[in-house]
Amino acid sequence: MIVAGGGMAGLVAAARARELGVPAVVYEKGSRTGGSMLLSSGVVWRHRGWHDFRRECPGGDERLQRLVWERLDDALAWLVALGAPVLWEETENPRTTGKRFDTRGLTRVLTRACERVELGRSAPLGTGEPMVLATGGFGGSPSLVARYVSPEAPLRVRANPWSTGDGLAHALEAGASLTPGMDEFYGRNMPDTAWDEDDFVSASQLYASHARIFDENGVEFFDARDVSWSETNVVQATAHRPGALAYYLLREEDIHRATAPLLAPDELPFDAPPGTTAGVRVVASITHTIGGIRVDENACVVGVEGLWAAGVDAGGVATGGYASGLAQALVLGLAAAESQS
């Protein structure tokens, strides 16, 4: 079995395949394993209630959502049994349940559990061997983001730099179809300053429900009352404003929420409304795409024999809302391996 991508989904698929006696080689075109999981908070979660999942992601494929929701607890236990280091036994969010892992330790454990990992190499095509696509979606491709997600591309990338749609391109060439939600993505509004992968979590500006939200032209384009708990809908809306930019305008009592440089009202490019004490200039960033390759409950690419897709190369799980990309990677990675044993 060939595994294209050495992030969480690919490593999980290869590690589980080895347990089941299926030879597997992971090809990671980047310089390390771990993908974007390594750069995340490490929280792998599901919605606490099934109906909460459906309500949060109403456009998603119910079969895939059910798979993730029903299998995640056992999948987490599998990770723990491998030796993955747990930081939190719960998510500390009443809406969700799951665990937080040390991402460096989790990457080491999963990499060690694989039979063979080739770094700096793209997966070979046309070998006739079964292949699992786990390349992390297409958030790192300016052309694909412009085509499917936002004309304001390139969006700032809040993820590994190697997820540029390789899996998507291969699947489409082989005859795969796409899911709804190709224009959706998960990301964060980040400070419009210099930041790097060490800042992906800490620099996220997560207080949109306490701000008034304007674009560069002074248009208030999002009502704080409509901000979702994950704030995914805010960053998606920001991605369609000029320059993929926004300004969070804050009152005195909310300034403490900002973890980015503050602008005085007279430094804004438009007249601030009464009551504004300061503003924060933010830019939409993309962590991973939500739409992708259509798969079934075994992570098999629909209509293409011998091809599987896991992680966010597969679409149709979180359409219309937000769900854990790491949970999707874990469960679909396991499903892809197990359907070949």
Alpha carbons 66 and 132: distance in angstroms, whole number: 21
Q: What is the pLDDT of residues 304-332, one digit of tens each?
A: 999 999 999 999 999 999 999 999 999 99
Contact assessment for residue 20 and residue 338, using Cβ atoms and an 8 Å cutoff: yes
Complete DSSP assignment for 166-181:
HHHHHHHHHT--B-S-
Whole-number pLDDT of residue 153? 78
Alpha carbons 279 and 274: distance in angstroms, whole number: 13
* Phi/psi at 57 (5° precision): -125, 65
Bridge-partner residues for 28, per DSSP? 119
pLDDT band at 107 (very low <50, low <70, confident <90, very high): very high
Q: What is the pLDDT of residues 267-302, one digit of tens each?
A: 999 999 999 999 999 999 999 999 999 999 999 999
* Phi/psi at 87 (5° precision): -95, -40
Alpha carbons 206 and 16: distance in angstroms, whole number: 36
pLDDT band at 80 (very low <50, low <70, confident <90, very high): very high
Contact assessment for residue 322 and residue 230, using Cβ atoms and an 8 Å cutoff: yes
**Tokens read off for 250:** 């804050």
Whole-number pLDDT of residue 2? 98
Whole-number pLDDT of residue 126? 82
Alpha carbons 132 and 13: distance in angstroms, whole number: 8
Q: Is the dihedral of CA 154, 60, 299, 335 positive or negative?
A: positive
Q: Could you give the strand order of the β-sheet that contains 116-119, starting from the edge strand earlier in sequence?
A: 116-119, 25-28, 2-4, 131-133, 307-309
Alpha carbons 122 and 190: distance in angstroms, whole number: 31
Bridge-partner residues for 88, per DSSP? 100
**Tokens read off for 50:** 């099934």
The owner of tokens 């109403």 is 58
Whole-number pLDDT of residue 103? 98
Given a cut of 90, whether residue 341 has pLDDT beyond it is: no
